[in-house]
Structure 1
Amino acid sequence: MTLTGLYVPLITPFDTTGAVALDALEALARQVLAAGATGVVALGTTGEPAALTGPERRAVLDTVARVCRERGAALLVGANTPAELDALRDRPEVVAALSLVPPFTRPGEAGVLAHFRRLAGGSPVPVVIYHVPYRTGQSLSAVALRRLAALPGVVGVKYAVGGIDEDTVALMADPPAGFAVLGGDDVFVSPLLALGAHGAILASAHVATERFVELVEAWRSGDAVRARALGHRLAELAAALFAEPNPTIVKAVLHARGVIPTAGVRLPLLPAGGETTRAALHHAEALRPAHVG
């Protein structure tokens, strides 16, 4: 099974006491799925998992898994270690783990290959590699990505290299069979979809979810005229939502819309400023369904 469609990496909402607002999380998961998302990601980097306690992470996963089970939706879970992967063993809703290329150490392509050979080899669920070199410090060539795609248990990549470069073109010119390329750069997702990406994992899709679903479907169906125009507008929205560290502005917009109880984040993140929030809200309101002709 090749993963396709739009997946929303869910934020973790907090209430006025700073606790995880599980009711708001459940409602948000239902909202994006009702808007057409294929699935969601729990405990991805957008969900601030490093700032959550162990019990909080389990509660988040329990909540999101219940929604996905009830709706028959796909659930991906951020999991980067053998222990985190093993914790997914008895969760049938989980279709794959989203596992980050080892950050900071810069092990080289051979080291990345060895890491995922071991990780995927012992995982109870398929693995989607999260490749984001401007955060991890580790670049991967198209050749290395093809080698990773050939590993048993590796089924795709969240591809977020900061643009469209030569390796992107080389990979998309002949993507490995059965290997999903999912756009992870919100601003650049439209050109990646135009090159043949199977879908996307986008924090910006918390906002204007229907429009991002429409974008993925338009490129997949070959409606380039529609996709190009919509892609330009969604790129402007994504740029506004990422004007400060993710997910601060996304949370501020959701709070302003009454979707979550606060715009709170946990350190080392700080809340988004009013000016950037207002700019993002402006772009978001312009993309409401009534404004899309």
Structure 2
Amino acid sequence: MLAGIHVPLITPFAADGSVDLAGLDKLAHHVLDQGAAGLVALGTTGETATLTEPERAAVVRVAARAAREHGATLIVGAGSADPRVTADTLRSLRADAALVTVPSFVRPGERGVVAYFEALAAATAVPLVIYHIPYRTGQNVGAETLRHLGGLPMVAGVKYASGLDATAVSLLGDPPQDFSVLAGDDVFVSPLLALGAAGGILASAHLATRDFVELAGAWRAGDVLRARELGARLARVSVTLFAEPNPTVLKGVLHAQGMIATPEVRLPLLPAGRASVEAALASL
């Protein structure tokens, strides 16, 4: 089972706008040295939609090398509304798992979501992690549907990015066997861990990585007082990091800390304002 804190890597850019692969390598090794269980390449936080195919391939190579050197898990984002395109990507993917978003914009209904993932599960060469993020996709998926999908042989888990709602409570109360529920809404990671989530895929864990790892360990060990204290503090950090569109504030903070060369993002994103970055730095 997938477990622990995974960091969905940003894509740092150089001053000329190119992908800063050396900066990416430095960041990947840093979060793994701090105890992260794995990396996610080509996630939303990585501004994947703005990368060219050669850039995407280079990002995966860097992340894969870092994960391999640390004995860590590598999850790679892969997905399209067309299951044929996604299946082709999955057949050639070299990773421990693939993060596949519920089809966005088309809103196929839950029956369509089931059919989509059943088709991918039959074709994939790597385990699938369903990315459930209805505020981006426009498609909600209920607990019973997620349980059904979790029973498919090649579905390993779900990145649950819908906060703390009735679906999360129901799913965590009776999850499928060997199915990992990973928190994907950073502010709510602590309560989801308290309910039994196996870990999280958290942009905020670029920062205070050790504390997020300790938070997961504290809930796992039943150290409620420590978990509550850490969870409350880290939730405040996450709130500041998402004050502007992700990953703009995060990049501003990493740049201020000297972790990346520039805070640049690609259109349609714009760099975060100074006040947002300063508020996030203060929360740390």
Give the TM-score band, short-chain normalised: over 0.9
Give the number of aligned pairs. 281
Q: Is the 8 A contact 1:7 1:201 kept in 2?
A: yes
* TM-fit CA distance, 1:272: 0.2
* TM-fit CA distance, 1:22: 0.1
Matching of residues 1-293 of structure 1 within 5 Å: 2-81=1-80, 82-83=84-85, 86-87=88-89, 89=91, 92=94, 94-161=95-162, 163-284=163-284
| SS in structure 1 at match of 2:19 | coil
1:153-200 CA-partner distances (Å, limit 9, x unpaired): 111000011x22222111111111100000000001100000000000
* TM-fit CA distance, 1:90: 5.7
1:36-80 CA-partner distances (Å, limit 9, x unpaired): 000000001100111001110011111111111122111000001
Alpha-carbon separation, structure 1, partners of 2:167 and 2:227: 23
* TM-fit CA distance, 1:140: 1.1
Alpha-carbon separation, structure 1, partners of 2:275 and 2:100: 34
| Unmatched segments (≥5 aa) in structure 2 | none
Alpha-carbon separation, structure 1, partners of 2:168 and 2:29: 33
Residue type matched to 1:23 in 2? A
1:107-154 CA-partner distances (Å, limit 9, x unpaired): 111000000011121111000000011111111111111111112211
Instruction: Report percent identity of matched pairs.
Output: 59
Alpha-carbon separation, structure 2, partners of 1:147 and 1:88: 21
| SS in structure 2 at match of 1:266 | coil
Q: Is the 8 A contact 2:91 2:123 kept in 1?
A: no
| Unmatched segments (≥5 aa) in structure 1 | 285-293
TM-score, with structure 1 as normaliser: 0.93
The worse-fitting range, judged by mean Cα deviation, of 77-86 and 264-273 is: 77-86
CA pair 139-274 structure 1, distance change in 2 beyond 3 A: same
Residue type matched to 1:142 in 2? A
RMSD between aligned residues: 1.2
Alpha-carbon separation, structure 2, partners of 1:232 and 1:273: 25
Residue type matched to 2:224 in 1? A
| SS in structure 2 at match of 1:37 | coil
| SS in structure 1 at match of 2:244 | coil
Alpha-carbon separation, structure 1, partners of 2:98 and 2:54: 19
Q: Is the 8 A contact 1:85 1:125 kept in 2?
A: no
Residue type matched to 1:9 in 2? P
TM-score, with structure 2 as normaliser: 0.96
| SS in structure 1 at match of 2:99 | strand
| SS in structure 2 at match of 1:188 | helix
Q: Is the 8 A contact 1:43 1:49 kept in 2?
A: yes
CA pair 179-66 structure 1, distance change in 2 beyond 3 A: same
